[in-house]
């Protein structure tokens, strides 16, 4: 089950991405570091987010996932967002400020 969203950082060539029309290779950009994920078009991105935060060891509540400038809540699917292969999801840390 986990293989669907597993990070493909090291096996990018192996997956190929063209094996199935249902799958996409998505880059996740966090502070300049890119992590590849092979995802199913119809799977909500929530799963990707959870795995990413788990692997990065960060609190998901403080992470902001942004695709083309739009915030992702996790309920969206790659299909809904018209994602293409090799598209990038940006991950930012919560911003706060007072002065």
CB atoms closer than 10 angstroms to residue 11? 12
Stretch that binds another protein, among 4-12, 18-26, 52-60, 69-77 (CB under 8 A): 69-77
Among 12, 73, 77, 89, binds another protein (CB under 8 A): 73
Neighbour-count burial of 82, counting CB atoms closer than 10 A to its CB (0-12 exposed, 13-18 middle, 19+ buried): exposed
3-state secondary structure of 3: helix
Does 14 contact another protein by CB under 8 A? no
Does 69 contact another protein by CB under 8 A? yes
Does 64 contact another protein by CB under 8 A? yes
């Amino acid at each position: 089950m986990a293989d669907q969203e597993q990070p493909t950082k090291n096996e990018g060539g192996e997956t190929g991405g063209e094996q199935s029309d249902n799958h996409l290779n998505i880059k996740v950009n966090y502070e300049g570091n890119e992590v590849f994920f092979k995802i199913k078009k119809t799977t909500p991105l929530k799963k990707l987010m959870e795995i990413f935060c788990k692997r990065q060891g960060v609190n998901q509540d403080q992470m902001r996932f942004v695709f083309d400038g739009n915030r992702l809540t996790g309920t969206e699917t790659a299909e809904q967002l018209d994602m293409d292969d090799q598209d990038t999801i940006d991950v930012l840390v919560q911003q706060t400020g007072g002065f």
